[in-house]
Structure 1
Amino acid sequence: MSTLNSQAHPPLAGPTPAYPRGHNEGKPPHTPLRPLWLCRADGQVWPCGEARLRLRAEFENNPTGLTIYLAGMYYEATRDLYRLNPHDGPSPNDLYARFVGWGPYRRPAVDAPGTDGSS
């Protein structure tokens, strides 16, 4: 084993998957079951459709907070899923789309040609 590998420390843990908070009493919440990142309530890949709806509602007035939370979950899921299956894990693009890409609408950095009203 090389010196570099023996000295490398694993990254620190990111945020805990505590959202969405609201759920029906007596039923499991739509939070992720780690390290598989499946929904506790319906077994779908997390965030499932119900979790996405609840996250949007919970962060309705804080889209930046939702984006930061989803980016943290993306980091945690990438870490867990690649530890479970380092050779056949999901691609970074797929994980990005699953965790961050569906989040709050963000305007493009540059307006598309012809949308500035000069046409």
Structure 2
Amino acid sequence: MTAHGPVVPIWTCAGCGAPWPCRTRRQELRAEYDRAPVSLALYMGACFLAASRDMGWAPAGLLHRRFLGWLT
């Protein structure tokens, strides 16, 4: 279990206070989903949708880059 989970509805990192997913959590997620990149994309897509609902004031492009833009 990671200390770098999301604090909702503001979607900050419980471990370091950075916008979630923080750098540490991204590294952890890459390792956890190493052999399942589609599953990681689906998980992050679900997080993106939840964050979009919670943070309706945030620009969609910013949230998209934050939650999905780092997936390659």
Same-fold call, TM cutoff 0.5: yes
- 2:53 paired with 1:79: yes
Name stretches of at least 5 consecutive residues in structure 1 with no aligned partner.
Answer: 1-20, 24-28, 83-88, 106-119
Name stretches of at least 5 consecutive residues in structure 2 with no aligned partner.
Answer: none
> What TM-score results when the alignment is normalised by the length of structure 1?
0.59
Q: CA RMSD in A?
A: 0.8
Aligned runs of 1:81-96 on 2, under 5 Å?
Answer: 81-82=55-56, 89-96=57-64
Note the C-alpha offset of 1:90: 1.7
Q: Which runs of 4+ in 1 moved over 2 A?
A: none
> Aligned to 1:37, which of 11, 16, 35?
11
More helix by share: 2
Match of 1:109 in 2: none
Distance (whole Å) between structure 2 residues aligned to residue 100 and residue 72 of structure 1: 10
Note the C-alpha offset of 1:39: 0.2
Aligned residues: 72
* Larger-Rg structure: 1
Note the C-alpha offset of 1:55: 0.4
